[in-house]
Amino acid sequence: MDSLCRWWRRAGGEDLDALRECGRVLAELLHAEDGLDVDLRGAVLVDGRFAGCAFGTVDFSDVRFIGDADFTGARFDGQAVFQRILCEGDAEFGEAAFAGAAVFGRARFRGAAGFARARFGDLAWFGRGEDGLAEDDPAWEEIEDAVTPAWQEPNEDDPHWPLAVLDFDYQEWIEGGDGARFTGPVTFRGAEFAADAWFGKARFGDSADFTGAAFGGPVHLVVPTADLTGARAEAAEHEWPFGWHLHDGELAATPGHRGLAGPDPSARLAAIELLASLGDADPAARAAVVRALCEYLRVPLPFAVTGPLTSPQAAELRARRAAQETLASRGRPGGWPALSLHLSGATLVDLDLSGVSVAYGDFCGAQFHGRSDFTDAVFERADFCLPGSADGRATFHGPAVFAGARLTRHAPPAAHERSGLDRCRFHATGL
């Protein structure tokens, strides 16, 4: 097994037939003997068929799966690391059993992803994929040599965004970053989470089915497309999507508050207006409303925002502009005080934040299309790319106006050396 994995990691991705044969041999080994450790970091797998296989500890970091990947009913007796994987086809982990931590940080699923009735015996991590590294950590010397599958997503242009190593604790909320990305539909129907279920910074571009799931530990799941009908939770520590609440151990939806999750842009537009009115009427709801709108703007768009648009696509952009304007208008004087805008990785079109006064703006990896206006905006802190790394940069694809803007109002003296826009990319002349 070790010899096969060493050769495989060096093989590259040119001879797909040979790689397909390697996958067949690997599956045979795993069926013949339980609990073998597998280290295929950075390898290319073709039509991976590992249904029913029994693994020990596995490391599939940065693996590119060409075709479909089938781990149905697989057993992982040790830690299972799938961080930053790229699944070009469908990925199936239904009824898989993870005895140790299951790490899918920054994993990218371009097809459908299935985790129905999967059992997570330890941490289930679908958030950002990297630990922060201390300044003197020798691992920094290897970062530049790391090779990740190219980031080629609509409206996004930073090829190193999947890596984006940070220099501080990855669980702090004010950090930028991106978690697992599900382009197609994903199901966790009936899945069991014995410990933490962490979906912080995850992005869902389609439906997210968590119906009947059981959560035994702390949960962070705030994406607007999640369906938690019949899901159960035991721990007191949890964050759910707006419109969902825990009642007698079971998740229930508040009627009329789930419009952001539907496929109809007009329904989303109505939901945005409803959320704004709720926040206007109830100051205690404002943080949750802002978070819901930010999560909506972080939903990946499956189409390019430049060029001709179909009627549904144009309607979607109208809804997103309405969400942007709701945040901007409430962030100006006389609106909702001390807002924090968590928009890492978001696609923002004709964003107008002129005159806002905001506690924190997280725009790491965000893509600004059209005209972006920050005239006289004041931020106690704003990040447009990840600290400690040239990756995770924001990109401006049209004119950007920062006249009179202050991005570090209460920053310590050393921080004034940074503008907050360091390493960003501008494709048009700023004004």
> What confidence tens digit (pLDDT) does each residue in 8-65 have?
988 888 899 999 999 999 999 999 888 899 999 989 999 999 999 999 999 998 899 9
**What confidence tens digit (pLDDT) does each residue in 105-135 have?**
889 999 999 999 999 999 999 987 545 566 6
Amino acid present at 88: E
Q: What are the φ/ψ torsions at residue 92 (nearest 5 degrees)?
A: -120, 120
Q: What is the DSSP letter of 299?
A: S
Instruction: Domain of residue 218: give its range.
Output: 2-253
Same structural domain for residues 338 and 241?
no
Q: Which of 248, 247, 203 shows the shortest CA–CA distance to 221?
A: 203
What pLDDT shows up at residue 116? 98
8 and 89 share a domain? yes
Residue 142 lies in a domain: yes
Report how far residue 70's alpha carbon sits from residue 93's, in angstroms, rounded to the nearest whole number: 7
Residue 139 scores a pLDDT above 80: no
pTM recorded for the entire structure? 0.90
Q: How far apart are CA 58 and CA 43, in angstroms?
A: 13
Task: Identify which of 216, 321, 217, 316 has the alpha carbon closest to the alpha carbon of residue 265.
Answer: 316
Answer yes or no: is 136 within a domain.
yes
Band the pLDDT of 158: cuts 50, 70, 90.
confident
The CA distance from 19 to 379, in Å, is 51
- The C-alpha atoms of residue 56 and residue 37 are separated, in whole angstroms, by 5
In a domain, 286, yes or no: no
Q: Which of 201, 235, 253 is the last residue of a domain?
A: 253
Taking the C-alpha atoms of residue 167 and residue 158, their distance in angstroms, rounded to an integer, is 19
316 conformational bin, left if phi > 0, alpha if psi -120 to 50, beta if neither: alpha
Picking from 350, 242, 234, the residue whose alpha carbon sits closest to that of residue 286 is: 242
Element (H, E) at 193: strand 192-193
228 shares a domain with 324:
no
Handedness of CA 140, 142, 148, 153 (dihedral sign): positive
Q: Are residues 247 and 358 in the same domain?
A: no
CA distance 232 to 193: 10
Q: What's the number of CA atoms in the CB half-sphere (13 Å) around residue 192?
A: 9
pLDDT for 169 equals 47
The three-state (H, E, C) secondary structure of 12-52, written as one string:
CCCCHHHHHHHHHHHHHHHHHCCCEEEECCCCEEEEEECCC
Whether residue 162 is contained in a domain is answered as yes
